[in-house]
A and B are shown apart, each in its own frame.
Chain A
């Protein structure tokens, strides 16, 4: 019974894998070569944050895509995306890796929902990404640290609970009430921690939450070269509520940016 049951399980719920198991190439040589290159590899910077508020979850991100330490690719990038009807993902790190993950997540959400008539839970999606990252690290790219990304996944479950998960490229997963990722993490987290009581109690309204989010991105932008300055690029803000995902209009974010710059909040 066991063999047949396992075979059917593997066909219905295959464990996530990126491709066939790695074999053949010399790990040690590659490792030495890759480490050398890695020192010279430019790292991309970003600040993405998420926290729970009165009506759900708020996501905010800067707009800069940088290539290495000196080059700015774009000041108009939207780094937070809706991957399912009540789920948002925000990524920091290599653009290619984050686009790849978003694509896989959208596909998985679609096929699970279509097949079983229930949406995937936020935790389910987070676990799926984590399994994928671990698989990448263990089998596909064993000489390196795995996918070069950090991600925040947040959303509402079928039961109506709001959940936020922080995921890192090597495959770790944390459940959080508020979090920030990217090169501006420390500065953004500083602002979030100043408001820790309200964030844990989830009693901020939309305007108050937007002020906290913009202030966090502002602080990060001031000190981190990988994060855009809010005076140059208006941050993108999205909320996940019981009605779904909504991106806040730029004009409305701009009003909050002005208040923050004038020191009103």
Chain B
């Protein structure tokens, strides 16, 4: 059924995209945090 495919596909696409964004921001956060001393991190 074409409908179900599109509907599920919309949810999958949306979550996959934001999930990718989330993963990338967390990964670059971890990578950079290893190189910056803690006193420079204003959120800690």
- Whether both chains belong to one complex is answered with no
Q: B residues engaging A (CB < 8 A)?
A: none
